[in-house]
Chain A
Amino acid sequence: MKLEYLFLRNIGPFYGDHTIDLVSEKKSNGFAFFADNGRGKTTLYNAMKWCLFGTVKTRVRAVSGIKTTPRIRPIVGVESDEPLINNTAYYGDEATEMSVVLIASSEKGRIQVTREVSSRSKLPRNDDELDINTTVVFGDKSSTGEKAQELIETFFPNTLQQFFFIDGEALEEYTDMLENDNLEGLKEDVESVLRLPALFRGKSDLELIRMSTKAKLKTAKKGEKNASAAQSEAAKYQRKMNDARKKVIKIQNRITTTENSLKDVTNKMNQHSEIAAHVEKVKEVKLKLEAAKKSLIRSAGSRKMYSEEAWKILIWKRAEAKYKEYNGQIGASQNLDFEIKTCKINIKNYTSDLKRLDGICSKCGQTLPDIDAYIAELKNKVVDEKKKLTELNSGVQFDSDELTTRLGRLTSIKPQRGDIDRIKNANNFWSDDRSLVKNLEEKYDSLNAKVTKEATSKLGDLGVRKGNFDQTIRRLKIECKAAEEELSINENKFNDWERKAGYSSGISDEEWKLESIVNKLISTIDDTVISYRQDAREKVEEEASKVFMEVTNAPQAYDGISLDNNFRARIKLKSGKFVTAPSSGMKSMMTISIIDGLRRVSGLDAPIFFDTPGRSLDEDHKRAMLDYFWREHNQQFLIFAHSGEYKIDATLRDFGSRIVKAWELTWPGDHHNCIECKSEEVMHSKSEQIATCMSCNHKWDTSSAHTIITELEI
């Protein structure tokens, strides 16, 4: 994997667009960025990290003797939060934008990773107000979001980032960890190298399965006790259900037979012209009734569907006021949040100033005049701010996040526009259909009775028989309905008891065996991890020793690095003993060797980025380290060096053949020669803070803190 280009926009001291081209015909692998403090070395290093993983953490610092926990740096926010975005772009530009694009190539193809930020509002107060997009183009395919991140991880695994993003400042932390007996950290690194976290995730999944199986089996065992009673109850209701079903079928058959008999009688009556006209009318009404019943089924179904939202209409009549109240508060609450935050920062700053003040000027060592008045003023400010904070807090009911959450929850009970009309219409349609069915039923009964009466008076026995059949059908339908209800009750009871009885019978033999299989698998994973960790420890020890022997300034005295069973690292002497009190430089070299040993064992094919690499190393070790890393690796090795660690001229002179490209990061005010034409004839105006080139007339603002990237001639 070779890094080819890096594009930056509005990140740290890099205002506007900047491009770094790493492409070269040279076969060597060294790249260097030189800069003084604040010019953006670490920003460059962090920009790449952010582009690949989306987060950058603060460095571990010691505050009052206690080490701070690293926290994620926001993109925007107050200065003390160390936001990533360029200050000028944040406050000055119309649209808030920040982006980093990284282009790299590998044997598998070319990959372009773009991570960009834009704001939905002017001067966003926190990252929630930002749109952050990640796009990865690999070959012809483009991915975004989670898929893009997954693709990045295949080339630059996040769990292994400490092996290719090496922070010189963090080396001391790492060294502390290596020397400590409780080496969970290094164990975790070794596990990362072996890709063991995937195995751990598998183990967690298995543990979840075991937990759920255990719960299921426990319930099953409890259920089993009641199972036999439940089974006998189920059998009882099954018998009742079967009886009721037989009864329903019997009645339905009787209805069919009686209807057929009625049909015969009606056909015979049709042969008599004086009755036929009435019979036809009854048939016509019956057809209308059947159609109306179908329509009623449809309208009842549609009413049922719409009625699901009816409760929202009712609840909203009262809840709307609450919604409006919260909605009205949210703007004020956001302002209040901001004021409270500002107030807290002010208190913190004033208190910190008070603690630091000792009455002596830090620059000249003279006693400061009027120090007591200044201290009193600061104390008053603290009191005022605290009072203000109390007042502000008393005015807070809910913070803006809470209000937003509450508004979201209320939205879920808000009816949709048009819901009330839809429900009312559906209810009216159903009501109309029901009235129609009722009217037609009455009409049908009345006409039918009329036909029977006419037929009885004119056709005698035939009319009486028709009347009897009509009556029988009505009675049977009532009986059928009652029998169907009885069947339904018995069916429900049977299902209930069967479900209770099923708690034991529902557990298959396989499920009983599952628990023991899962237990065995978990034990196997544990054994595998122990065995792999041991193998990896030996490999890392071997690789780290090789590196150490190359970078140490006394190879004749040392034998390499030793990692004991508890992963405690020590430098081994030729005599077989261990170095008892290594210098900080030796410790740093040991740490670098172990990190590189871990990287080699991992088989990771990514460029290595090393921020402030020469920190705490003497001249010999600094040279030895560059000599090693800029030599045999096929991987690019980028250093971000402070001018105090590595002198530009000396480094370029000594390692020129190993360096592919090098850059210097400066501010405009650092330049004594013209930025454009390099002329030495430059006039500096200190009052206006402007430099003017006498040769090309180029002018630049010497007070600007916007970094310029200049490629150095090698």
Chain B
Amino acid sequence: MTKKRKIIIGTVSISEAAHKLLTSLVHSDNEPSLDAPFTAIVEAFRFAFALGYSRNLKTKAVGVTKTVAPRQFVVTEYLDILENDIDKSYSSLGALVSGYAEAGAEIMLETKQSGKSVLSIIE
């Protein structure tokens, strides 16, 4: 009875600038004063994706892109919330997730530049 449709998995990748930002948000025990709350880059990526998704904002990465640990970020885990979003521009799950994450990363950068902490975004 379930409506079957073919879902392309694809890969997750973000722009170099977004990758650099997410890397800078990874916690280091030697630098507790830095606003870097995430345990790994994939966790920062997950946050960026969730942020883009929650605000329904997508951005296409331009220029050189970098991939994010595909084994640690399994796109199919988010299939239920994304399947209706897949359109012509974001034809695969990976591309869709990347679009949300890219938009999320932009918001995170703006927040950081305004002097607010990244985690304050959840409020």
Nearest-Cβ distance from residue B25 to partner chain A, whole angstroms: 10
Whether the Cβ atoms of B80 and A409 lie closer than 8 Å is yes
Number of interface residues of B (CB under 8 A): 31
Residues of B within 8 A of A20 (CB): none
With A304-B37, A423-B119, A424-B122 given, is the CB distance from A318 to B80 under 8 Å? no
25 pairs from A and B in contact (CB 8 Å cutoff): A301-B29, A304-B27, A304-B38, A308-B39, A310-B37, A310-B50, A310-B119, A310-B122, A311-B43, A311-B49, A314-B121, A314-B122, A315-B53, A340-B1, A398-B2, A399-B1, A399-B2, A406-B80, A423-B119, A424-B122, A427-B119, A427-B120, A430-B32, A430-B37, A437-B33
Which listed residue (A308, A322, A398, A427) contacts B117, Cβ 8 A? A427
Residues of A within 8 A of B64 (CB): none
Whether the Cβ atoms of B81 and A319 lie closer than 8 Å is yes
Residue B61 interfacial (CB < 8 Å): no
Residues of A within 8 A of B47 (CB): 307, 310-311, 314
Which listed residue (A314, A413, A434) contacts B78, Cβ 8 A? A413
Q: B-facing mask of A303-340, CB < 8 A → 1, else 0?
A: 11001101111110111001000000000000000001
Nearest-Cβ distance from residue B63 to partner chain A, whole angstroms: 23
Whether the Cβ atoms of A297 and B29 lie closer than 8 Å is yes
Nearest-Cβ distance from residue A183 to partner chain B, whole angstroms: 41
Whether the Cβ atoms of A307 and B50 lie closer than 8 Å is no
Most buried by A among B50, B56, B117, B121: B50
With A314-B47, A315-B54, A427-B119 given, is the CB distance from A322 to B33 under 8 Å? no
Residue B123 interfacial (CB < 8 Å): yes
Whether the Cβ atoms of B122 and A420 lie closer than 8 Å is yes
In the assembly, what is the distance between CA of A312 and CA of B43, in Å?
11
Residue A117 interfacial (CB < 8 Å): no
Residue B3 interfacial (CB < 8 Å): yes
In the assembly, what is the distance between CA of A300 and CA of B50, in Å?
22
Whether the Cβ atoms of B122 and A313 lie closer than 8 Å is yes
Chain A at the B interface: mostly helix, strand, loop or mixed? helix
Residue B66 interfacial (CB < 8 Å): no
List 5 A-B pairs, minimum CB-CB distance, nearest first. Answer: A300-B32, A311-B50, A314-B50, A315-B50, A307-B37
Q: B-facing mask of A401-442, CB < 8 A → 1, else 0?
A: 010001001101100000010011001001100100110000
Whether the Cβ atoms of A410 and B37 lie closer than 8 Å is no
Which listed residue (A297, A301, A303) contacts B119, Cβ 8 A? A303
With A311-B46, A427-B117 given, is the CB distance from A322 to B80 under 8 Å? yes
Residues of B within 8 A of A396 (CB): 1
Residue B77 interfacial (CB < 8 Å): yes
Q: A-facing mask of B1-39, CB < 8 A → 1, else 0?
A: 111000000000000000000000001011011000111
Whether the Cβ atoms of A296 and B80 lie closer than 8 Å is no
Whether the Cβ atoms of B123 and A424 lie closer than 8 Å is yes
Residue A703 interfacial (CB < 8 Å): no
Whether the Cβ atoms of A409 and B77 lie closer than 8 Å is yes
Residue A393 interfacial (CB < 8 Å): yes
Nearest-Cβ distance from residue B98 to partner chain A, whole angstroms: 15
Nearest-Cβ distance from residue A153 to partner chain B, whole angstroms: 37
Residues of A within 8 A of B2 (CB): 397-399, 402
Number of interface residues of A (CB under 8 A): 42
Residue B51 interfacial (CB < 8 Å): yes
When C-beta atoms are compared, the residue in chain B nearest to A398 turns out to be B2
Whether the Cβ atoms of B54 and A318 lie closer than 8 Å is yes
Which listed residue (B1, B32, B43) contacts A308, Cβ 8 A? B43
Residues of A within 8 A of B27 (CB): 300, 304
In the assembly, what is the distance between CA of A297 and CA of B47, in Å?
23
Nearest-Cβ distance from residue B100 to partner chain A, whole angstroms: 10
Residues of A within 8 A of B49 (CB): 311
When C-beta atoms are compared, the residue in chain B nearest to A405 turns out to be B80
Whether the Cβ atoms of A410 and B81 lie closer than 8 Å is yes
Whether the Cβ atoms of A296 and B33 lie closer than 8 Å is yes
Whether the Cβ atoms of B51 and A314 lie closer than 8 Å is yes
With A297-B32, A409-B80 given, is the CB distance from A318 to B53 under 8 Å? yes
Nearest-Cβ distance from residue B3 to partner chain A, whole angstroms: 7
Which listed residue (A310, A318, A402) contacts B81, Cβ 8 A? A318
In the assembly, what is the distance between CA of A652 and CA of B32, in Å?
91
Residues of B within 8 A of A308 (CB): 39, 43
In the assembly, what is the distance between CA of A310 and CA of B2, in Å?
32
Whether the Cβ atoms of B56 and A318 lie closer than 8 Å is yes
Residues of B within 8 A of A313 (CB): 122
Residues of A within 8 A of B119 (CB): 303, 307, 310, 423-424, 427
- Contacts beyond the supplied A427-B119, A437-B33: 15 A-B pairs with Cβ under 8 Å: A296-B32, A300-B32, A304-B37, A308-B43, A312-B50, A314-B47, A314-B122, A315-B54, A317-B54, A318-B53, A402-B2, A420-B122, A423-B122, A424-B122, A430-B117
Whether the Cβ atoms of A314 and B54 lie closer than 8 Å is yes
Residues of A within 8 A of B50 (CB): 310-312, 314-315
